[in-house]
Structure 1
Amino acid sequence: MDSKYIEKKYVKENTIEKREYQNNISDIVKSKNSIVVLPTGLGKTVVALLAIADSMITNPTKSCIILAPTRVLVHQHYEFLSNSLTLNPTEISVITGEDVLEKRKKKWQNQIVCATPQILKLDIIRRLVNLEQFSIVIFDEAHRTVGKYAYVFIAKEVSSINPDARLIGMTASLPSDSIKIQEILMNLHSNHLEARDHFSEDVKPYVHKTDIEKIELELPDDIQKISNLIRKTIYLYTKKLQSAGQSLPSNPSLKAVLMKTQQIEKDPILSHRWDIRGNLYSLVRLLHGLTIIETQGVYSFQKYIQRLSSKTKSSGVKKLFNDSNFNEAITLNNKLQSNGDEHPKLSKLIIALQNNLKGSDKAIVFASYRDTVDKIYEVLHKEGYHVGILIGKSGKSGQSQKKQLESLTKLKSGEYDIIVATQVGEEGLDISECKLVVFYDNVASGIRFIQRLGRTGRNAPGKVVSFVTKGTRDETNYYISQKRLSKTQRTVTKLTNKNSINDEKKGLDKFL
């Protein structure tokens, strides 16, 4: 009788469920450098495990390495491999910036190494690690392999010193721009893309339906008044810049203003025009504030203003606070805060939780700003939910790695019903299966949309609720992410219908 568990040398018996698509992918990538595209929740780590096992079978005297962009992810890979392989845990090492140099020297020689790319790059430069010892290098979150990111340097060094080593990139999704996909492929010295989605024939038996509900909201009149006042201020600052000879649209986007700012800062003459630079910086602050009041709410805007007011030594910030429209917006926001008024998303969130969570069901709420995370936490705690937070470690209010892992453990154990998370909860972390995922706001990224989506529908049907405030950045980001996602899917499908790239052509040239 065929076992329902994976049967392979080095893999513990009765540990990992056998899934056809994971076996198919691992069989293909063991013979060629590849990028594996597998949406969150479909088990990229199992594919990595199988690839490592195959590599140890084929090259028993060599080592394997798996790289991940954060310490938490590195430790997560270590735990999974330690629990799933027959190796002694001492044969698997974790190497991050926390380890001293002498300790790292010894750890690099282990059978399997789990490490951050930053520390590997550093130790390659210091000649502490022998790249010839590795039979396989796995790059988790491989969509980062662009520009000056450490993955680019590492892949180049490994390919140069040890061309027989297998390079495997893994990601939930790729960028929508085919040129960027080409860059990632070339940087990983790969000529093969192995992709699956929820509709792939060998994946269908293992996935559950996920309903996606878009809830559109209107801004309340008072918040709309604040928005209008900020927009008036934006208009005035834009006119000042146009009068100073700077070409900007009457209703500029934050991206356009940031690009203009960078252009001015590099100009040998205009970089000394502090009137222009000051007005551009104020415009950036205004556009950011507009996004916060329209998509996050009263509390988050107040916190933003408090931080901004601490910088009034800057003449530009001082002038901004002297603007009558901006001042009126702040006064009105303070009044709303005193009255307990908030963005309608908060009340809609409570309704969504009440309608979708039963018994021991869990939820994760994604929000882009820490202030918003704090407000959601406060409201849900008052509603009687057992709620935790998951945020990055930077800054004074950041969450240490220990605290991040503690939050994830409490969600898995049932101590928490809900986790409210920033972007740190999107990428790779082994978050417990959630019945409900809420996009409190929207991001203009197909990759992040897929990562958020993958937090539900793994072992049972799931639900995604996405809040979209009409006429705001929320709406723009939602449609941009959907457009990019569709474009990515078309590009990846086109590429995976091909086999390999002709010798005379590199990257994606064959397909473009």
Structure 2
Amino acid sequence: MSSQFIEKQYVKSNTIDKREYQVNIADSIKSQNSIVVLPTGLGKTVIALLSMAESMINNPTKTCMILAPTRVLVHQHYEFLLNSLNLSETEISVITGEDTLKKRQTKWQNQIVCATPQILQLDINRGMIDLEQFSIVIFDEVHRAVGEYAYVPVAQSLYSKNNEIIMHGMTASLPSESPKIEEIMNNIHAAHIEFRDRESEDVKPYVHDTKVEKIEIELTDDIKTISNLIKKTISSYSLKLRNNGQLLPRDPSLKAVLAKIHHIEKDPYLSKRWDIRNNLYSLVRLLHGINIIETQGVDSFSKYVSRLKSKQKSSGVKKLLEHPDFSQAIILTDRLQSLGEDHPKLAKLESIMEANLRGTDKAIIFASYRDTVDKIFEVLHGKGYHIGILIGKSGQTGQSQKQQLESLEKLKSGEFDIIVATQVGEEGLDVSECKLVVFYDNVSSAIRFTQRLGRTGRRSPGKVVSFITKGTRDETNYYISQQRLSKSQRTIKRMNKNYKKPAEKKGLDKFL
């Protein structure tokens, strides 16, 4: 009978549970540049570890590298590798901008390096790294390897100097369109995709059922009134723009308005028409505002208006706040707030928590806006729950890396029952398994949907509750994410069979 733990040179004994799909994937990708698509929580980092161990066996004098988008993720990978490999602290390094140049130069030569792509790119540009020293590089959250993101120039630099290097990308999901997947594959020179979902035969034994429940929410009459007043304001601004020759529908989408702004800012004449530009900027603010009142609630919208009021030096903002319909929406918002009324999602959230959390059960609630995170925290903390927050580091109210890790540790230790998180809680972070996951709002991204979903159902049956406010962006985003997820999986499966990256000619061959 085979061991229940992974047994491999460099891997500590009795440390990592042996899972068939992880071993299968690591074996499949060991000799070719590949992208691994595996749902959140199913151990992509173990596959990365096995790949690096294999590389150290074959190239013991060379360096293995894992890159991640944030310092928190980088430190998380470092801790995992340190605890799982038979290597000392001096053989595995974390490299950040806080290190001196001299210290970084030494660290880049360690057996394993964990870093952000930005610091790697910086030191490549300084000419202080021998790129031929690397045997393998892992790109965590590889779906970011598009456009000008640092993964792209870093991969190009590595490959141009070292075309024997193995490059692997790890992600929970890829885009739904073939050209976008091809772009990512080309950017890291990958010719192969290893795809698994929770229904894959070698994954099924290691996951539990996750029940997904959609709860439709009806807006209150008062919030509908505020929404309609904002819609009237939007129509008014659209009419002003049409009268100035800028064709927009009466109820334009944010995408259409942003495209119009992009066009005007490039036009030598129209870019000087500040009346047109201010009206377009006001439309962006209104479309953002209507999404907040409809999907987040009164308190979040009130805080949004307060931020607008702080920008009244701008003539465009001042005119918007003085618009009769919008100013009426603000008055009604203030009245509802004084009465303690808010989005019906909050009351439903309280009942969901009460019905589903027992004893040591844990939950994570995802919300897109920090104001909403604060409101949820206030409401549930007031009900006696031990609750924490997990938000990004930008802005005055952001969390530092240390604070983020403290929140995660408190959830893991049981000090917190609930974490309320923004997008930072979706991507890669080692969030303790939760019995319950709540989507307070919905996102259109299939990648983000998959990342949220992966926070439950790993070690025991889990439940996901998705709040969908009828007739709003909530509803639209939910169905878009489902369509994109389904299309992405079909596209990946098709490309895995058909995609053959042409071999690049090397040396003199490219001229013959």
- TM norm structure 2: 0.97
Q: In structure 1, what is the equivalent of residue 509 of structure 2?
A: none
CA distance, structure 2, for counterparts of residue 348 and residue 140 of structure 1: 36
State the Cα deviation string for residues 480-508 of structure 1 (Å, max 9, x = none): 11111111011011123447446599xxx
- Supply the AA of the counterpart residue of 1:320: L
After TM superposition, give the deviation of residue 341 of structure 1 in Å.
0.2
1:74-93 to 2 correspondences below 5 Å: 74-93=74-93
Return closer, same or farther for 1:38/1:386 CA change in 2, 3 Å cut-off.
same
Q: In structure 2, what is the equivalent of residue 245 of structure 1?
A: 245
Return closer, same or farther for 1:154/1:322 CA change in 2, 3 Å cut-off.
same
1:501-512 to 2 correspondences below 5 Å: 501=501, 503=503
- Supply the AA of the counterpart residue of 1:476: T
Q: Are positions 1:149 and 2:121 aligned together? A: no
- Between 1:123-132 and 1:488-497, the stretch displaced more is 488-497
After TM superposition, give the deviation of residue 322 of structure 1 in Å.
1.0
Q: After the TM superposition, which parts of structure 1 deviate over 6 Å for at least 4 consecutive aligned residues? A: none
CA distance, structure 2, for counterparts of residue 350 and residue 177 of structure 1: 39
Q: In structure 2, what is the equivalent of residue 282 of structure 1?
A: 282
- Superposed CA RMSD: 1.1
Query: Helix, strand or coil: the match of 2:22?
Result: helix
After TM superposition, give the deviation of residue 249 of structure 1 in Å.
1.5
State the Cα deviation string for residues 448-500 of structure 1 (Å, max 9, x = none): 00000000001011000000000111111111111111110110111234474
Q: In structure 1, what is the equivalent of residue 494 of structure 2?
A: 494
CA distance, structure 1, for counterparts of residue 497 and residue 18 of structure 2: 25
After TM superposition, give the deviation of residue 85 of structure 1 in Å.
0.3
1:228-307 to 2 correspondences below 5 Å: 228-307=228-307
After TM superposition, give the deviation of residue 447 of structure 1 in Å.
0.3
1:310-349 to 2 correspondences below 5 Å: 310-349=310-349
CA distance, structure 2, for counterparts of residue 101 and residue 299 of structure 1: 47
Q: In structure 2, what is the equivalent of residue 379 of structure 1?
A: 379
Q: Are positions 1:26 and 2:34 aligned together? A: no
State the Cα deviation string for residues 321-345 of structure 1 (Å, max 9, x = none): 1111001100000000000001000
Q: Are positions 1:107 and 2:107 aligned together? A: yes
Query: Helix, strand or coil: the match of 2:135?
Result: strand
Query: Helix, strand or coil: the match of 1:235?
Result: helix
- TM norm structure 1: 0.97
- Supply the AA of the counterpart residue of 2:454: G
State the Cα deviation string for residues 224-260 of structure 1 (Å, max 9, x = none): 0000000000000000001110111121011111111
State the Cα deviation string for residues 288-322 of structure 1 (Å, max 9, x = none): 00000000000000000000001111110111111
- Supply the AA of the counterpart residue of 2:353: L
Query: Helix, strand or coil: the match of 1:90?
Result: coil
Q: In structure 1, what is the equivalent of residue 510 of structure 2?
A: none
After TM superposition, give the deviation of residue 98 of structure 1 in Å.
2.2
State the Cα deviation string for residues 110-130 of structure 1 (Å, max 9, x = none): 100000000000000001111
The answer on whether the counterparts of 2:32 and 2:192 sit within 8 Å (CA) in structure 1 is yes
Q: In structure 2, what is the equivalent of residue 3 of structure 1?
A: 3
State the Cα deviation string for residues 50-87 of structure 1 (Å, max 9, x = none): 00100000101101000000000000000000000011
CA distance, structure 2, for counterparts of residue 200 and residue 494 of structure 1: 16
The gaps in structure 1 that reach 5 residues or longer are: 506-512
Return closer, same or farther for 1:124/1:504 CA change in 2, 3 Å cut-off.
closer
Q: In structure 2, what is the equivalent of residue 54 of structure 1?
A: 54
After TM superposition, give the deviation of residue 90 of structure 1 in Å.
1.6
State the Cα deviation string for residues 396-449 of structure 1 (Å, max 9, x = none): 011000000000000000000000000000000000000000000001100000
The answer on whether the counterparts of 2:190 and 2:501 sit within 8 Å (CA) in structure 1 is no
CA distance, structure 2, for counterparts of residue 102 and residue 259 of structure 1: 46
CA distance, structure 2, for counterparts of residue 449 and residue 99 of structure 1: 36
CA distance, structure 1, for counterparts of residue 501 and residue 23 of structure 2: 23
CA distance, structure 2, for counterparts of residue 20 and residue 417 of structure 1: 32
CA distance, structure 2, for counterparts of residue 406 and residue 168 of structure 1: 30
- Between 1:492-501 and 1:243-252, the stretch displaced more is 492-501
Query: Helix, strand or coil: the match of 1:467?
Result: strand
Query: Helix, strand or coil: the match of 1:60?
Result: coil
* Percent identical: 71
